[in-house]
Amino acid sequence: MSLVVQNITKRFSDFAALNDVSFEAQPGEFLALLGPSGSGKTTLLRLLAGLDRPDTGRIDFDGLDYLTLSARDRRVGMVFQSYALFRHMTVAQNIAFGLNVRPSKDRPSKAEIQATVQRLLKLIQLEDLGKRYPSQLSGGQRQRVALARALAINPRILLLDEPFGALDALVRKDLRRWLRRIHDETGVTTLFVTHDQEEALDLADRVVVLKDGQIEQIGKPLELYRHPQSAFVFDFLGTSNQVPANLSDGIADFGGFSAPVVSPKALNGAQTVRFRPFDTHLHHEGPGFEAKVLSLLPAGANLRLELQSPTGQVFETQHAHDSEASDLRLNDTVYLRPSKVYAF
């Protein structure tokens, strides 16, 4: 059972929401669709659910031509950012909905439906709340109910559209783990749309990075992080500092100091290179990019610094609490040397 998306294009009047998008999802895989707003990820999800039709291309699932099936018949479980729970139904009725609306010949018996609902309530750890209404639940609980409702129809694919977007940071993190666990238990092929790179990298087996309706890169989280194929992917996955450099033979020369270059292709000559906040060292004397300490903030296990060069450029760097950066004060002058840079 695998999902094959081939050469999908979708235009809205003269705006190409998706342009020749192709990818596959293996059975039971957890795939994240990552991109900024307007990158086409929600459009892609709507096409998969059958809520819209692509202009060209194919969508197959396990040999089944999905484009010939209506949204009703695709058996796609969908979870929305707004939860979209039926507000006039109890939690149990919400979960049972997909079973209750089946034509009578396919409909399980009342007892079977009841049993499914109980099993799912247990799975989402809301066993005692079956009789509550959605308005009596917290955001996190609602989203769990929405997931149970989608799972009740035994979906071929699970589509989640920014499911945690409306929740606060702590609940998000909690639900993320929980979602991953549910996925591992149920083994449903899952597509997860998000604009939050941390969420995508944390959750997914593979990440599809979208930009302006096109796929920028597909890969496992670590692969993506270590070997970004484009400046966009690099910038999107984390904080990026940019400086000019002279490249030759995999070394970036900054005039007096240098750093090794990671790049998808061999580049030479004057280029803009990028580096991460944690791939840096600070020194009290040059050579290095001269900068003043603008702010010093604790960021979890690290110390986060904002530095400003005499020309006004702001660098963001990260260092261990017990590193050379720990003695620095505001407005101190330091010399910044990247230890590794990326070029595209």
Partner 1 sequence: MRARAPERPKTPAAFLLMALAAVWMALVIVLPLVNVLAEAFKQGVQPYLSAIVQPDALSAIRLTLTVAAIAVPLNAVFGIAAAWCVTRFDFAGKGLLLSVLDLPFTISPVISGMVWVLLFGAHGWFASVLEASNIKIIYALPGLVIATVLVTLPFVARELIPLMQDQGTDEEIAAVTLGASGWDVFFRVTLPNIKWALTYGVLLCTARAMGEFGAVSVVSGHIRGLTNTLPLHIEVLYNEYDSVGAFGAATLLAGLALVTLVLKTLLEWRFGDELAANRRH
Residues that bind partner 1 (CB under 8 A): 49-51, 71-78, 80, 82, 84-88, 97-98, 101-102, 146, 149-150, 152-153
Minimal distance, residue 281 CB to partner 1, in Å: 50
Residue 134 or 221: the one with the smaller Cβ distance to partner 1 is: 134
Minimal distance, residue 107 CB to partner 1, in Å: 10
d(CA 154, CA 243): 51
Helices (H), 131-264: 139-152, 169-186, 197-203, 221-226, 231-237
Minimal distance, residue 162 CB to partner 1, in Å: 12
Minimal distance, residue 241 CB to partner 1, in Å: 40
Q: What angle do CA 100, 102, 108 make, to 5 degrees?
A: 65
Helix 91-100 with 139-152: angle, nearest 10 deg: 20
The phi, psi pair for 205, rounded to 5°, reads -70, -45
Minimal distance, residue 84 CB to partner 1, in Å: 4
Q: b or e along 139-170 (b: 16 or more beta carbons within 10 Å of the residue's beta carbon)?
A: ebbbbbbbbbbbbbbebbbbbbbbbbbbbeee
Residue 88 or 284: the one with the smaller Cβ distance to partner 1 is: 88
d(CA 49, CA 70): 9
Residue 40 or 98: the one with the smaller Cβ distance to partner 1 is: 98
Minimal distance, residue 97 CB to partner 1, in Å: 6
Fill in the amino acid letter for 158. Answer: L
- The beta strands (E) that lie in the chain are given as 3-12, 15-25, 30-34, 56-61, 64-65, 76-79, 157-161, 189-194, 206-211, 214-219, 241-248, 251-253, 258-262, 269-275, 280-283, 289-299, 302-308, 314-320, 333-338, 341-342
Residue 51 or 251: the one with the smaller Cβ distance to partner 1 is: 51
Residue 112 or 198: the one with the smaller Cβ distance to partner 1 is: 112
Residue 110 or 284: the one with the smaller Cβ distance to partner 1 is: 110
d(CA 178, CA 201): 15
Residue 51 or 266: the one with the smaller Cβ distance to partner 1 is: 51
Minimal distance, residue 225 CB to partner 1, in Å: 33
Fill in the amino acid letter for 2. Answer: S
